[in-house]
Amino acid sequence: MTTDVRITPLDAWIAGKMGTAGGRVTREQINCYQLIRLNETISRARSLSPFYRKHLAGMGLNGLTRLEQIAEYPLTTAADVTAHALQMVCVSQSQINRVVTLNTSGTSGNPKRIYFSPFDQELTIDFFQCGMSTLVGPGDKALILLPGERPGSVGDLLLQALLRLGVLPTYYGLVENVPKAVLRMCQVKANCLVGVPVQVLAMARYWEKWGGSEWAPRCALLSTDHIPAAITRELKRIWNCEVYEHYGMTEMGLGGGLECAAHEGCHMREADLYFEIVDPVSAQPLPDGEYGEVVFTTLTRQGMPLIRYRTGDISRFIVNQCQCGSILRRLERVRSRKDGTVCFGEGWEFTIADLDEVLFALPEVTNFTAEVNYGEITKLKLVIVVLADGQPPDQPFALSALRQLPAIQAAEQAGKLMVEVEFVRNLTLSPAKRSIRVTGLAREGVGSAV
């Protein structure tokens, strides 16, 4: 095991949570801790949540004796949260100080609501404080490019965590005007940026196009959406900065896992969350190293515990130990969403992540939208965003890049797919998670894979 990579601070953090002497824990100790917390969570949810009292009615009352037994419990879905969020809450309404509303797709369009108590939000600040110490320390300056206008929002919690670290944070918010964001970064001399992948990429491309400046960030933390390797490479090339990945979602309490300096997957937030990988179709647990859907259970949340919540993210646990020496579980970069695979038939399929890797490698590209319209000949329309006053790649070059994807190349050659590419200059960047919009009628073997 190499010793030149500093161990993730999350090891000492979970040791502190467990009250372990010496600041180090074994895998067996973590498993024992999580088993105790799982039983506490299940017991509390049964007692205080009308939804879970009914949802878990068929399960025995004796509790778990092994972690693996959690797989016998029913899963919780996004549809459950949409329909029954208030019935999942385990505290009085007066003890809820933050409600996050998440818009959902589907026919109903009803939003999901996630409820947090002050204790729950303190857990998030605590995790952010520990995680950010991987990147920054006292005296460093961080620019927060995330929503933070409201108390308890992700940007506000991150700002509080950074202040506890002795870091000098500047709140900026989501990037709507790239030149202004770059100017602010240079004015405050930010060592570290925390933001949305495509928005940070747009800042880097603008900085490079206009000759750079005497100031560039030392590191960046990317979060909130899929993090393409192509964006990571471009940020490293342009700024010569170290890029870290964060995995999380609102349902997790915002934080789920964070890379260490080895950049070999995200070390998971195992003091507060128990993670599983299950088969997306059968929902049966999968062994470490196999790809499946990420499922988690909250271990310490008071307001709205979630038991075996399906994230829809497809990934796997990394089997070998990290270079940093941590014994925490690591999650590989999320490959796709369970419902995010587009099929053309004949086994030809691709995801938004596949498009990310070929399109963000093109010069000047800062974002894109993708729409698939199914018909006798399926149409893939891409609207590719480049910098204002930028020079977009010519269409043959862009099409050649897209044909690096075997599914697109094969479907085109078979006469089953027509690709249309349009370039636009627009520096207004949406913070919404990107996905492939699908229209038209799917046929057998052709459509969105679920």
Q: What pLDDT shows up at residue 82? A: 96
**Residues 81 and 63 grouped into a single domain:** yes
Q: What pLDDT shows up at residue 21? A: 67
Q: What pLDDT shows up at residue 103? A: 78
Contact of 221 with 248, CB cutoff 8 Å: no
pTM to 2 decimal places: 0.92
**Residues 140 and 232 grouped into a single domain:** yes
**Residues 243 and 142 grouped into a single domain:** yes
Phi and psi dihedrals of 333, rounded to 5? -50, 135
Q: Where are the beta strands (DSSP E) in 248-340?
A: 257-259, 266-268, 273-278, 292-298, 309-315, 330-331, 336-337
Handedness of CA 112, 114, 301, 169 (dihedral sign): positive
Q: Give the separation between CA 95 and CA 115, rounded to whole angstroms.
A: 10
**Residues 268 and 325 grouped into a single domain:** yes
Tens of pLDDT along the chain (450 residues) come to 445 899 999 999 999 999 886 678 999 999 999 999 999 999 999 999 999 999 999 898 889 999 999 999 999 999 999 999 999 999 999 999 999 998 765 434 588 999 999 999 999 999 999 999 999 999 999 999 999 999 999 999 999 999 999 999 999 999 999 999 999 999 999 999 999 999 999 999 999 998 877 899 999 999 988 899 999 999 999 999 999 999 999 999 999 999 999 999 999 999 999 999 999 999 999 999 999 999 999 999 999 999 999 999 999 999 999 999 999 999 999 988 877 788 877 778 889 999 999 999 998 899 999 999 988 888 999 999 998 777 788 888 889 999 999 999 998 998 889 999 999 886 555 566 778 888 876 544 455 543
Q: What pLDDT shows up at residue 444? A: 44
Q: What is the CA radius of gyration of the chain?
A: 22
Provide the domain limits for residue 191: 135-247
HSE on the CB side for 331, CA within 13 Å?
A: 26
Q: What pLDDT shows up at residue 107? A: 35
Q: What pLDDT shows up at residue 432? A: 63
Q: Where are the beta strands (DSSP E) in 346-416?
A: 348-350, 365-374, 378-386
Choosing from 337, 356, 380, the residue where a domain stops is 337
Helix 10-18 × helix 118-132 angle, to 10°: 140
Question: Which segments of 64-191 does DSSP mark as H helices, in order?
Answer: 78-88, 118-132, 154-165, 178-188
Q: How many domains, the chain? A: 3
CATH classification of the domain holding 46: 3.40.50.12780
Contacts for 153 with CB less than 8 Å, ≥ 6 apart: 147
**Residues 189 and 230 grouped into a single domain:** yes
**Residues 165 and 65 grouped into a single domain:** no
Choosing from 308, 337, 366, the residue where a domain stops is 337
Q: What pLDDT shows up at residue 106? A: 42
Quickly count helices (H) and strands (E) in the chain. 12, 21
| Calculated CA dihedral for residues 78, 83, 89, 95, nearest 10 degrees | 110
Q: What pLDDT shows up at residue 1? A: 43
Q: Do the domain assignments include residue 4? A: no
HSE on the CB side for 134, CA within 13 Å?
A: 31
Q: What pLDDT shows up at residue 167? A: 98
Q: What pLDDT shows up at residue 172? A: 98
Instruction: Provide the phi-psi class of 125: left if phi over 0, else alpha when psi is between -120 and 50, else beta.
Output: alpha
End-to-end CA distance of the chain, in Å? 40
Angstrom CA distances, 99 to 118, 157, 248, 252, 302, stand at 11, 14, 17, 14, 14
Q: Do the domain assignments include residue 130? A: no
Choosing from 213, 247, 281, the residue where a domain stops is 247
Question: Which segments of 144-228 does DSSP mark as H helices, in order?
Answer: 154-165, 178-188, 197-209
Tell me which residue of 257, 242, 261 sits closest to 134, measured CA to CA.
261
**Residues 208 and 279 grouped into a single domain:** no
